Homo-oligomer: A and B are copies of this chain.
Amino acid sequence: MQKPEENYDLEAYLSEYVETCPDKEIRILNAAINAFADKGFEATRTREIAERAGIAEGTIFRYFPSKNAILESMVPLLIRVLQPKIGKPIEDILNLNPDMPIDRILVAVLKDRLQMIRDNGRFIKSVLPSLIHRAPLLEQLRVSLLPLIEGYVVQVVERGKAHGELDESVDARLVMPQLFGFVLAYSITQSVDPEREARDVEQFVESLMVGWRKR
Contact = CB atoms under 8 A, between A and B. Distances in A.
A70 to B, nearest CB: 16
A207 B212 contact: yes
A212 B206 CA distance: 11
Interface in A166-215: 170-171, 173-174, 176-178, 180-186, 189-190, 200, 203-204, 206-212
Interface residues of A, number: 43
A39 B213 CA distance: 47
B182 A178 contact: yes
Contact of A185 (B132, B180, B208, B209): B180
A107 to B, nearest CB: 14
Contacts of A132: 40, 125-126, 129
Contacts of A190: 177
Given A178-B178, A204-B178, A134 B184 contact: no
B185 A177 contact: yes
A146 interface: yes
A42 interface: yes
A208 B212 CA distance: 10
A51 B200 CA distance: 51
Interface string A123-154: 00110010011110000000000100010000
A2 interface: yes
A180 B174 contact: no
A96 interface: no
